[in-house]
Structure 1
Amino acid sequence: MSLNAIMNTATTGLAAAQTQLRVVSDNVSNVNTPGYVRKIADQTTLTGQGMGSGVEVSRIRIATDRFLQAASLNAGAGAAREGVRYELYDRIQSLFGDPGSDKGFFSQVDGLFSAFAANAEDPTSSPRRQDALFKTQALFDEASRIGKQIQAVREDADGRIQSAVEKTNGLLKQIESLNLEIARATAVNGDASGAETAQAALIGQLAELVDIRVSVRAVGGVSIRTGAGTLLAGQGAATLEYNRAGTVTGETAFNEIWITEPGGQKRSLLDTLGSGEIKGLVELRDVDAPEAAERLAELVSHVADELNRAHNANSSVPAPVSLTGRNVGQTFATAIAGFTGRTTVAVTNAAGVIQTRADIVFSGATMTVNGVTTTPANFLTELNTQLGGAATASFTNGRLTIAATAPNGVAIADDAAAPSSKTGRGFSHYFGLNDLISTDRPAFYDNGLTTNSVLGFTPGEQLTFRFTGESGARLRDLDVQIPAGGTVGDLLTQLNDPALGVGRFGSFALASDGTLSFTGYGNPAPSLSVLSDTTTQVPSGVSVSELFGIGGGGRSSRADGFSLRSDIRQTPSRLALAQLNLSAPAGAQALSIGDGRGALLLADAGERSSNFQPAGGSTGGSISVSRYASELSGEIGGRAAAAKNRHETSAALYTEAASRQTAHEGVNLDEELVLMTTYQQAFNASARLIQACKDMYDTLIGMI
């Protein structure tokens, strides 16, 4: 070997040792820097003509392990997903208060019925009436507050989705710019470790927003795809688009989250996501929170319905001059058809003595009033005839009104042996003539309609349905028009038509009690919601979706529409606590001021079995209001506990994965000290070799 070859070997060793020491120095100086990944200088042997000719540092890289990195990124996405779901659902649980506290929402339900029980002991006590009415109003005010706050949580989640989308776009642009920097450094064998470390930190932040898969490019840098394979970075940066909805209600239809890949293909982001913060926010906004709102609305609706059932069986003393019902969403002929049993409309004087009465016997399509046979179309005319001017019945804008001639009043009572009934509700209860709780929209959907019932909507009016998949991404928006036929059966046929309706995605079915339900095709089946509804029924003014409760949004919005009847709230003496005695002889008192039997009905309303509809994942069924409230309380708490467990488990998994990654990628001072000593010795050895080569050269020169 020549002296020049020896000198070259020593010089390359000296340079390699210097580079290695610089790398070790960088590692040691960043030992406490968060997110720093230690550098490794890869050293290779140089050869010439089959002989070793020194060493060189071929590249400086960061000490990443793709398997540990993938585990950490996946765990981080899962932790972020469950973290936001728990955070926001915990806010929803806190809205209901402590179930064991007297001030919690579910405790107020029991307290309401207890207050009416106290009225049965002293029906004439004004303070007890006021206490019961105060607790009634407080319960529905609280339900309204909770319902609105649940929507506020959804609005917060929606706003955070937009922020996460904007943050994702920023991260993708930064990652892609670092890709270019790393590729340039790689092309000239430069040190790209600084850019790679910065890029790794950005990738970690991105993984908390969306679940990703990372692969290393041959030219340097990384290629990033979602868990489902959609390209995010590597050939340019993808772009996400989302416009938040603004003020959120139960009926709000949220916009799609779009992603445009670097190649220009635009698709739904949710179809490609399996985890991450955005996924968790969408699940909370579109699944967890709406289910809680639907269950709350179903409970509150039945609390109101059972109180109204009891109140309609009662009367105040003296009886009110006028009884005005709620909007039934039907024509009168349709609404009155289908009743069975007996009821009585009585006109009483101030002393509670019956002046005039109309005994009604229902038998489906026909009925009698004081023994005179009539039909649904002529019922009101015959009722007015039999009342003889002492009272007048009218039907306007979907509401039935029966008004007596002052100073007399109107009281209604069902026959004890064969009470009137349609879908489980008596005549007065069905029309809401003496409701205690009023609402501005249809509150129950078992309305008794049949396929032959008159629909009352104008042909050509339109509903727009949205179908979403399991991921929450939109599948299709479909417009369905009111058909030319005028019956519910015609509407049902139109809805289920594969070409004109939703028949490609599922089918609607009308139950015997008039409830309309949708069953989607496939497993998992698509979800249906109402995007818009421009239909208006004549004469009630309600829409198709309001009448039948189509979609969960309209159903969940019921919770904030209930209130204590204004005239009773202002005048507690109008609270109906007495019952009309239909067997009282002529001239005898049929209503008594001290009668508290009606208060017992109100107190027992919470224990009466009611037909709950499926809502928020619950199958519903026949169950008491108090039992349903208890089960809902347990479910809300159970879901919050489950969300907490998932959050803690995913966070622990992420901590473990991150710890293992850090253990591999982080700086170990003991190891770096060994390396520093090694490369110092290598540097000294190279320096001594140079000195020896110099001495030999000097000796040779001296010999000449």
Structure 2
Amino acid sequence: MSLNSIMNIATSGMSAAQTQLRVVSDNVSNVNTPGYIRKIADQQAWAQHGVGTGVEITRIRLATDRFLQAASLNAGAEAGRQNVRYELFDRIQSLFGDPGADSGFFSQIDSMFAAFATSAENATSGPMRQDAIYKTQALFDESARIAKQIQAVREDADGRIQSAVERTNSLLEQIEKLNVEIAKANVVGADSTGAETAQAGLINELAELMDVRTTPRSVGGVEIRTGAGILLAGQGAARLEYTRGGAVSSESAFDDIWITEPNSQRRPLSAGLASGEIKGLMELRDVEAPAAADRLAELMTRLADELNRAHNASSSVPAPTVLNGRNVGQSLETALEGFTGRTTITIVNDQGVIQNSADIVFSGGTMTVNGVAATPATFLATLNGQLGGATASFVNGVLSIDAGGTNGVAIADDATTPSNKAGRGFSHYFGLNDLVSTDRLALYDTGLTPASLHGFTPGETLTLRFNDAAGTKIRDIAVAVPAGAGTVAELLTALNDPATGVGRMGTFSLDAKGELTFTGRGDPAPTMSVQEDRTTQVPSGVSMSELFGIGGVRASRADGFSVRGDIVKDPAKLALAQLNLGVAAGTAALSKNDGRGARLLAGAGQNATAFSAAGGAASGSMSVSRYASELSGEIGGKATIAKNRATSAQALYTEASARRTSSEGVNMDEELVLMTTYQQAFNASARLIQAASEMYDTLIGMMR
């Protein structure tokens, strides 16, 4: 081996050691830099014709561990998902307050019933009446506030989704730019570790927004896809699109997030999205918050209905001169069909003495008024003929009875065979003496049967949107009201038609109380919402979705209830007495001291009530008080579960990050050992050069 070869070999050793020392120096200086990944200078031996000619640095790379990186990215995505779910659901729980505190929402329910019980002890006390009315109104005001705040949480989640989409687009653009820089550096053999470190930090941030999978590219850099395989970066940057404003209320669905891949293929992002902050926000916005709103709405609807049941069975003293019902969403003829039992409408003077009465007996689709036969079509005229000057009318779906002059109207069902349709008496069904009113239809057990006339005009359309379990739109289906006799059976057939209806998505069915329900096909079944409703029922003016509670209409009911305005203004109109039909002629049938109506109101929370399925809870019969207790426990339980999941996910992310950092981060002890090793290698190479130099000097001296 020549001296020149020795010099070249030693020089290559010094150069390699110098490069390695520079890498160690960079590592040591960044020991406290967050996200810094340790560099490694790989070296290999040079050889020509089987003879060693020195050493070279083949590349400078990052000390990455693909397994630990994947584990950290997955854990980060799940932590992002669970943290945001807990954060927002905790806000929903806080809206209801502490169940054990007097100011909590569920405690207000007990306080209201207690106020009515107090009123029963002294039915003539104005302050006690006022207190009961105030607490009832305060309860419904609080439910309205909670319902609006739940919607506000949904809108907040939606705003954060938009921000996350914008941040995702920015990250993908930066990651793709770094891919180009890394590829260029690799082509010319330059150090690309700085760009790779920056890219790794961006990928970590992206993983907290959505679940991603990374694959190294042969030219350098990475290819990134979602867990479902949607290409995000590596062949160009994908672009996400989202526009807020898709759902302005709890009744409508939000729009999809669309992603355009680098190959220009456009698809919804939610398809296959498994974790990440965006997934958590979508779950809270589209599933958990609507479920809480739906349960609250069902509770307040049944609470209002039970209060109205008691109030319709009672009367104020003196009796009101006019009873105005609620919109039943049907024609009078259809509404009267299916009634059974017996009820009595009386006209009383200001002393509570009956002046006239109409005894109505329902039986098998026929009826009599004071023994005079009537049909649903002739009922109103027959009733007016028997009321002796009082007037009953039916306009826009609302039944009203006006006593005329200074007299009042009081209604009572027969004690043995009370009137009944869909579980409600005559006055209760029409809402003639409701305590709690609402600005929309809230009861969907309509009492309709397949043979009932629906009242919608043929050709009117209802457009329904179906989404899969991830929230991705499957399709929109417009169903037209069919021509024919106009029966509910025909409407059901049109809705369930596999070709022109929703038959391929699920089935609509009508139960014994006239409640229309939808059962989706598949597991998981698709969810349904109303995209557009162009139907109008005659004569009530309500739409099909409002009448039957289709889509998200049910979840919006909680903010529409209030105590009847005339009762709020005059507590004396609170119905705390009951009509006594057994008194002798000329004797008062109503007494101011009668508190039986107040006892009915106080016990309304203990009545067995048929609750509809809501917010993931199955339908069933239970008391309002028990339902409130179960809802209270469910809200608290879900918040606790969300907290535990967030804590566990964060702990797993912390552990995965720690293990990754342990492998990829800078260890000062290791770097000091390497520094000593490379320094010694440098010194050894320098000594070789010195030795070769001395040998050169000797040879030159011998030649002189």
2:418 matched to 1:419? yes
Distance 1:107 1:484 in 2: 51
Distance 1:299 1:522 in 2: 29
Q: 1:154, 1:248 within 8 Å by CA — same for their partners in 2?
A: no
Alignment of 1:145-160 (within 5 A): 145-160=145-160
1:312-355, CA deviations, whole angstroms, 9 ceiling, x for partnerless residues?
00000010000000000000000011111100000000100000
Q: 2:247, 2:255 within 8 Å by CA — same for their partners in 1?
A: no
2:577 matched to 1:590? no
Moved more, 561-570 or 694-703: 694-703
2:498 matched to 1:467? no
- Given the two structures, how large is their TM-score scaled by the length of structure 1? 0.99
- For residue 53 of structure 1, what is the aligned residue in structure 2? 53
1:198 corresponds to which letter in structure 2?
A
Q: 2:159, 2:244 within 8 Å by CA — same for their partners in 1?
A: yes
SS in 1 for 2:377: helix
- For residue 488 of structure 2, what is the aligned residue in structure 1? 488
- For residue 232 of structure 1, what is the aligned residue in structure 2? 232
1:612 corresponds to which letter in structure 2?
F
- For residue 688 of structure 2, what is the aligned residue in structure 1? 689
Alignment of 1:249-328 (within 5 A): 249-328=249-328
Shift in Å at residue 252 of structure 1? Answer: 2.5
SS in 2 for 1:327: coil
1:653 corresponds to which letter in structure 2?
L
Q: 2:214, 2:222 within 8 Å by CA — same for their partners in 1?
A: yes
- For residue 171 of structure 1, what is the aligned residue in structure 2? 171
Q: 1:115, 1:128 within 8 Å by CA — same for their partners in 2?
A: yes
Shift in Å at residue 246 of structure 1? Answer: 6.7
Distance 2:152 2:453 in 1: 39
2:437 corresponds to which letter in structure 1?
S
1:593-631, CA deviations, whole angstroms, 9 ceiling, x for partnerless residues?
110000000000000010000000100211000000000
- For residue 628 of structure 2, what is the aligned residue in structure 1? 629
Distance 1:35 1:239 in 2: 26
Shift in Å at residue 272 of structure 1? Answer: 2.8
- Given the two structures, how large is their TM-score scaled by the length of structure 2? 0.99
Distance 1:252 1:93 in 2: 23
Distance 1:339 1:520 in 2: 32
Distance 1:413 1:696 in 2: 126
Q: 2:436, 2:561 within 8 Å by CA — same for their partners in 1?
A: yes
Q: 2:259, 2:268 within 8 Å by CA — same for their partners in 1?
A: yes
Distance 2:691 2:543 in 1: 99
- For residue 407 of structure 1, what is the aligned residue in structure 2? 406
Distance 2:226 2:425 in 1: 58
- For residue 577 of structure 1, what is the aligned residue in structure 2? 576
2:563 matched to 1:564? yes
SS in 2 for 1:58: strand
Q: 2:46, 2:56 within 8 Å by CA — same for their partners in 1?
A: yes
Alignment of 1:217-228 (within 5 A): 217-228=217-228
1:402-452, CA deviations, whole angstroms, 9 ceiling, x for partnerless residues?
001111000000001111000110000000000000001111111110111
Q: 1:151, 1:248 within 8 Å by CA — same for their partners in 2?
A: no
2:79 matched to 1:79? yes
Shift in Å at residue 247 of structure 1? Answer: 6.7
Report percent identity of matched pairs: 70
2:215 corresponds to which letter in structure 1?
S
Q: 1:414, 1:420 within 8 Å by CA — same for their partners in 2?
A: yes
1:538-574, CA deviations, whole angstroms, 9 ceiling, x for partnerless residues?
11111101101112x1001000000010000000000
- For residue 377 of structure 1, what is the aligned residue in structure 2? 377
1:605 corresponds to which letter in structure 2?
A
Distance 1:310 1:364 in 2: 26
Distance 1:524 1:595 in 2: 55
1:508–1:246 distance in 2 versus 1, CA, 3 Å: closer
Shift in Å at residue 221 of structure 1? Answer: 0.2
1:117-143, CA deviations, whole angstroms, 9 ceiling, x for partnerless residues?
000000000000000000000000000
Distance 1:179 1:214 in 2: 13
Q: 1:360, 1:367 within 8 Å by CA — same for their partners in 2?
A: yes
Distance 1:280 1:51 in 2: 62
Q: 2:252, 2:530 within 8 Å by CA — same for their partners in 1?
A: no
2:42 matched to 1:38? no
- For residue 602 of structure 1, what is the aligned residue in structure 2? 601
Distance 1:364 1:670 in 2: 94
- For residue 359 of structure 2, what is the aligned residue in structure 1? 359
2:22 matched to 1:22? yes
Q: 2:246, 2:254 within 8 Å by CA — same for their partners in 1?
A: no
- For residue 5 of structure 2, what is the aligned residue in structure 1? 5
Shift in Å at residue 12 of structure 1? Answer: 0.6
Backbone CA RMSD of aligned residues: 0.8
SS in 1 for 2:525: coil
Distance 2:59 2:683 in 1: 23
SS in 2 for 1:377: coil
Q: 2:482, 2:490 within 8 Å by CA — same for their partners in 1?
A: yes
- For residue 131 of structure 2, what is the aligned residue in structure 1? 131
Q: 1:349, 1:409 within 8 Å by CA — same for their partners in 2?
A: yes
1:140-184, CA deviations, whole angstroms, 9 ceiling, x for partnerless residues?
000000000000000000010011000000000000000000011
Alignment of 1:186-205 (within 5 A): 186-205=186-205
1:10-66, CA deviations, whole angstroms, 9 ceiling, x for partnerless residues?
111111011000000000000000010010111111111101111111000111000
Gaps of 5+ in 1: none
1:394–1:463 distance in 2 versus 1, CA, 3 Å: same
Moved more, 265-274 or 427-436: 265-274
SS in 1 for 2:345: strand
Shift in Å at residue 244 of structure 1? Answer: 1.0
Shift in Å at residue 248 of structure 1? Answer: 3.4
Shift in Å at residue 372 of structure 1? Answer: 1.0
SS in 1 for 2:244: coil
Q: 1:42, 1:58 within 8 Å by CA — same for their partners in 2?
A: yes
Distance 1:386 1:227 in 2: 74
- For residue 339 of structure 1, what is the aligned residue in structure 2? 339
SS in 1 for 2:632: helix
Distance 2:544 2:318 in 1: 39
1:363-386, CA deviations, whole angstroms, 9 ceiling, x for partnerless residues?
131011001111111111100011
Distance 1:635 1:620 in 2: 16
SS in 1 for 2:329: coil
Distance 2:173 2:373 in 1: 80
Shift in Å at residue 472 of structure 1? Answer: 1.1
Distance 1:544 1:352 in 2: 42
2:429 corresponds to which letter in structure 1?
Y
Shift in Å at residue 189 of structure 1? Answer: 1.5
Distance 1:201 1:394 in 2: 73
- For residue 511 of structure 2, what is the aligned residue in structure 1? 511
Q: 1:155, 1:246 within 8 Å by CA — same for their partners in 2?
A: no
2:69 matched to 1:69? yes
Moved more, 503-512 or 141-150: 503-512
- For residue 437 of structure 2, what is the aligned residue in structure 1? 438
2:241 matched to 1:241? yes
Q: 1:393, 1:402 within 8 Å by CA — same for their partners in 2?
A: yes
Distance 2:662 2:51 in 1: 39
Q: 1:112, 1:135 within 8 Å by CA — same for their partners in 2?
A: yes
SS in 2 for 1:445: coil
Distance 1:152 1:556 in 2: 14
Shift in Å at residue 388 of structure 1? Answer: 2.2
Distance 1:446 1:660 in 2: 58
1:581 corresponds to which letter in structure 2?
N
1:137 corresponds to which letter in structure 2?
Q
Distance 2:16 2:30 in 1: 21
SS in 2 for 1:555: helix
Gaps of 5+ in 2: none
